[in-house]
Amino acid sequence: MTVRVGVIGVGMIGQDHIRRITGVLTGGTVVAVNDVDQARAEQVAAGLPHATVHAGAGDLIADSDVDAVLVASWGAAHEEQVVAAIKAGKPVFCEKPLAPASDACLRIIDAELVSGRRWVQVGFMRRYDASYLAMKAAVDDGSIGAPVLMHCAHRNPSVPPYGFSTEMIVSDSAVHEMDLVRWLFGEEIVAVRTLTPRRTGKAAEGVQDPLIIVFELASGVLADDEVFVNAGYGYDVRGEVVGESGTVALADAGGITLSAGGRRTAVPAGQTRGDRVPADWRERFSAAYDAELQDWLNAVAAGTFTGPSSWDGYAAAAVTDSALRALRTGRRVTVPLPARPDFYAKTQ
């Protein structure tokens, strides 16, 4: 079965997902597109063999040629589009965040509960990264004993000088670690602290960059997360889980070792220019994005879902809210999370 996908939102990320479905992955084809910028939608469709352009997201969702929907529009539009897909009985892949506010996420959950089954996969692609998967395997198989704490670092070389606020460091960057630690340890984040190190002079005025966010999990495991979006030197994601008898850490990517000019430099493979730390998340997580979307296509074809759920999208939104409150108050904030519906138990 070839899954016929309709894509809502064909900006940079939407186009990248279209490229994947069309030129990298197997089992999917893009049959419809929609964008708030109609001209852009037309342009993208022109590069595809047989894609209809829909004036509205609702039209695309209703299109009987569309088996499944990929939502890559801006966050504020997610709720309406995802709920519409659920009501239409169509599987939907939604880029993170599921919705900017946690109550919007809850409404998506409600719609799914009413429908009686899962329809939504959220774009937390780190769960598909080979290194994180190996880390989780080491945690799960007892290689390091019971986990007691974790260290994370999430560094971007820079962000645009305007429009990337302190809040976005939490909601757009740290949100990846929020989902990651929940997935790694299989439990919820119950409280959060947000610490403010010395501010880098490279950040825009008024932006507190970096942050150290400390996640407290239900079992007492603490995970500290350095989030630094103007780290300058490259895109660098690091992590180490410390357990009762050992630790497991992300290693540097393989590739080649260049010895020249008095330096010995590790150069990850698969980059356009060699001697450097990955330039951005596209380079670092390229294979994870592929695996994520292939997994979704396979799940749609099979009618089952194992990827990040609406609940995962909601939990991340709730932790984001609490981390922002912790930033404002300087205190430990408990995350007001209701019990997870059995519906979202892992083995669905």
Q: Order of strands, edge to edge, in the sheet holding 236-243?
A: 236-243, 147-155, 222-228, 211-217, 189-195, 333-334
Please give the backbone phi and psi of residue 219, each rounded to the nearest 5 degrees, phi first: -80, -5
| Residue in the structure block whose two tokens are 């030197």 | 233
Of the candidate residues 36, 88, 168, 212, the single one contacting its own copies (CB under 8 A)? 212
Residues in the chain, overall count: 348
Respond yes or no on whether the N-terminal peptide bond of residue 97 is cis (omega within 30° of 0): yes
3-state secondary structure of 59: helix
Interacting residue with its own copies among 38, 56, 103, 256 (CB under 8 A): 256
Using rule CB under 8 A, residue 262 touches its own copies: yes
Q: State how far the Cα of 239 lies from the Cα of 215, in Å rounded to an integer.
A: 14
Query: Nearest CA to 171 among 292, 312, 319?
Result: 319
Taking each helix axis as running N to C, give the angle between helix 102-115 and helix 78-87, from 0 to 180 degrees, rounded to the nearest 10: 0
Binders in 8-47 for its own copies, by CB under 8 A: 22-26
Establish if 302 lies at the interface with its own copies (CB under 8 A). no
Min separation Cβ 304 and its own copies, Å: 17
- By CB under 8 A, is residue 55 in contact with its own copies? no
The answer to whether residue 226 forms part of the interface with its own copies (CB under 8 A) is: yes
Applying CB under 8 A, which of residues 269, 338, 342, 347 lies at the interface with its own copies? 269
Does 186 participate in binding its own copies (rule CB under 8 A)? no
Q: Work out whether 251 is an interface residue with its own copies (CB under 8 A).
A: yes
Identified binder of its own copies from the candidate list 106, 113, 133, 301, rule CB under 8 A: 133
Shortest approach of its own copies to residue 208 CB, angstroms? Answer: 11
CB-wise, 87 or 332, nearer to its own copies? 332
336 binding its own copies? (CB under 8 A):
no
Q: Is 245 in the site for its own copies (CB under 8 A)?
A: yes
- Buried b / exposed e over 121-154, threshold 16 CB at 10 Å, is bbbbbbbbbebbeebbebbeeeebeebebbbbbb
Residue 56 binds its own copies (CB under 8 A): no
Q: Which of 168, 253, 301, 337 binds its own copies (CB under 8 A)?
A: 253
Two tokens, residue 97: 């965040």
The DSSP bridge partners found for residue 193 are 214
CB of 25 to its own copies, least distance (A): 6
161 is an interface residue for its own copies by CB under 8 A: no
Per CB under 8 A, contacts with its own copies among 270-299 are 270-271, 274-277, 279
List the end-to-end C-alpha distance of the chain, in Å, as a whole number. Answer: 22
The mark string for 92-131 relative to its own copies (x by CB under 8 A, - otherwise) is -------------------------------------xxx
Interface size with its own copies, residues (CB under 8 A) = 86
Work out whether 151 is an interface residue with its own copies (CB under 8 A). Answer: yes
Question: Which residues have a Cβ under 8 Å from the Cβ of 331 and sit 6 or more positions away?
Answer: 193
Nearest Cα to Cα of residue 344 among 136, 132, 120: 120
Q: Quick check: 191 and 333 in contact, CB under 8 A?
A: yes
Which of 88, 224, 283, 306: binder of its own copies (CB under 8 A)?
A: 224
Site membership for its own copies, residue 143 (CB under 8 A): yes
Closest separation between CB of residue 170 and its own copies, Å?
17
To the nearest whole angstrom, how small is the minimum distance from the Cβ of residue 11 to its own copies? 23
Q: Which of 215, 246, 225 is nearest to 146 (CA)?
A: 246
Q: Out of 56, 255, 336, 341, which residue is the one contacting its own copies (CB under 8 A)?
A: 255
Which residues have a Cβ under 8 Å from the Cβ of 49 and sit 6 or more positions away? none
